[in-house]
Amino acid sequence: MQSIYYACSGRHRLQAKGSRVKFGIAHFAISLLTALAATAASADQPALPDPAQVKFQWGVKIPLRDGVKLNATVYTPRQQKAPAPCVVTMTPYISQSYHDRGMYFAAHGYPFLTVDVRGRGNSEGQFRPLIQEAADGHDVIEWLATQPYCNGKVTMWGGSYAGYNQWVTAKEFPPHLATIVPVASPHAGTDFPMRGNIATTYLMRWLTFTSGHASQANIFGDDAFWMTLNRHWFESGEPFNKFDAQVGNLTTAFQEWLAHPKVDSYWDAYNPTAAQYGKLSLPILTITGSYDDDQPGAMEHYRQHMKHGTAEAKASHYLVIGPWDHAGTRTPQAQFGGLTFGAPSLVDLPQLHLDWYAWTMQNGPKPKFLQKRVAYYVMDADKWRYADTLEAVTAESRGYFLDSSSNATDVLASGSLSTTQPKGKPDNYVYDPRDVSIAAIESTVDPSSLTDQRTIYAQRGKRLVYHTAPFERDTEVSGYFKLSAWIAIDQPDTDFSVSVHEIRSDGSSIMLSTDVQRARYRESWREGKLVSTREPLKYEFNGFTFTSRLIRKDSRLRLVIGPASSIHNQKNYNSGGDVSAETIRDARPVTVQLYHDRSRPSTLFVPLGQP
């Protein structure tokens, strides 16, 4: 969930939200923060057109079928001579946040509406995050289709929350919805409000931001305030289900969400069903990024449609994966997280939207950028590549066996990743939930960094580290890492965090991808099964994020495996009980053993790109 939310993108991002702690769910959660940017339009948004081109109408009321009225701000082309296709975005971040987008699209001939979702801004009703948007979205689309400036064709715009809105509105099949462009869209149970069934402290930050009708942007934007709250809770040893009380906001959905700690019918109700994905026939353009915190959700929507959709529907679904973080999926940045990207990364995404709308709703030409159904950016090579399918991006998934000659808990004396059959003894680390020293370390590390190694070095002896030999030539890695690991633990449960990095010849590091797993959900996110043996069990880490990067000659890959213990996420005390209710009094130190021998070959699978 790290990123699950959200909203605007722009130069005035909240510093925390680019923030990326280096391991697993912590990285996933804090990086969200930038996404939310509840700030006004910024200099790197689309340039505002001449105001004389746009007609503005504030406070338009949209009636829903249950009598509730939503508030809309309407931007129409001042010289509009005939009804035209319309664009709408529905937001919990107060509709004025998208004034720049409204001006941009209206100036380019598309009436554009920004709508406060139910219970937010000047809309009536009670806000229930995400679950309310499907039916309300349907009603908004059908109302808009009847307006005199609309020709009956309606599309949607937006990312994160507003990307999710598009998927769930589409599943209601409003007759006048012509196409959708979901960007950075969360998928309930995949990356919201937890990843790998591990929740985050960020939930309360976001829920407070969207509490009541008014914007709580200043409260949300106080990084020091939230860092202090997170750290205080983590060091207190109090249960996660008391975090809302510690924050001082008991009015949110926090407790309701915690009552559903695994993927179940509750979370299924938030997403399209298999049958609904199968019936979707409108053109779809999915946009996400290699460092988009909602990439797991965006890709899950895409996979489900590819799995259940008709051949014709799948042929009209395009996917773009850029070198972007969450906010960058709307406004790309050449620099973030300590990395710099080339000029080709700065795709004019507003223009791509215009081209897509013209193609799908006005019989215009196909956007030149969409050369094939999948477009992905190879970082460091600084070029776009194309494939007919997502699977075709990867030429080979090459296995690298984990091995070591001594316990691989030191980044400076690590284990190895090689194609030679392993023969070493098990490696092990001990995770004691009563050890809260990580809190002080995380408080000093810029959470937005993709290159800072201080957390890894500070945790020497407390996690396992493996390196490949230096690469003999430049090698493209594109697709999904997978880790198959034989692990034994001596407690009923614990949380794992894994990450893969490129280590360059000068010793610098670039984070590539992460995954997390709670031991009890090793077989299924839907059914918990506590560990009842001290024998090694096979853990499949199949939830890594997509990456595409040119690994330079003499670089190595680094794999890090350790506990998912952080001030930024729910803490597992390893007792096997209700994780949200556990306290430090339930803490059980766990010894984790990772096996790598001929009969139990723990293996990292590296996705090599097409030549």
For the chain, which residues make up each domain, given as ranges? Answer: 395-609
- Structure token pair of residue 149: 């400036």
pLDDT of res. 6:
36
pTM across the whole model: 0.94
pLDDT of res. 10:
33
pLDDT digits (tens, 9 = 90+) for 193-238: 999 999 999 999 999 999 999 999 999 999 999 999 999 999 999 9
Whether residue 18 has pLDDT greater than 80: no
- Structure token pair of residue 267: 């979370």
Instruction: State which amino acid sits at residue 285.
Output: L
Rounded Cα distance, 296 and 190, in Å: 7
Rounded Cα distance, 540 and 155, in Å: 39
pLDDT digits (tens, 9 = 90+) for 67-107: 999 999 999 999 999 999 999 999 999 999 999 999 999 99
Structure confidence at residue 254 as a pLDDT band (50, 70, 90): very high
pLDDT digits (tens, 9 = 90+) for 364-398: 999 999 999 999 999 999 999 999 999 999 999 99
Q: Are 518 and 569 in contact (CB under 8 A)?
A: no
Distance (Å) of CA 563 to CA 59, 392, 428, 549, 592:
50, 33, 12, 27, 9
Sheet strand arrangement including 374-378: 284-291, 317-325, 374-378, 383-387
pLDDT digits (tens, 9 = 90+) for 398-421: 999 999 999 999 999 999 999 999
For the chain, the residue count is 611
Across the chain, mean pLDDT equals: 92
Rounded Cα distance, 454 and 15, in Å: 19
Q: Residue 283 contacts by C-beta under 8 Å, 6 or more apart in sequence? A: 178, 179, 316, 317, 356, 359, 360
Structure confidence at residue 38 as a pLDDT band (50, 70, 90): very low
Q: Class of the 395-609 domain?
A: mainly beta
pLDDT of res. 45:
60
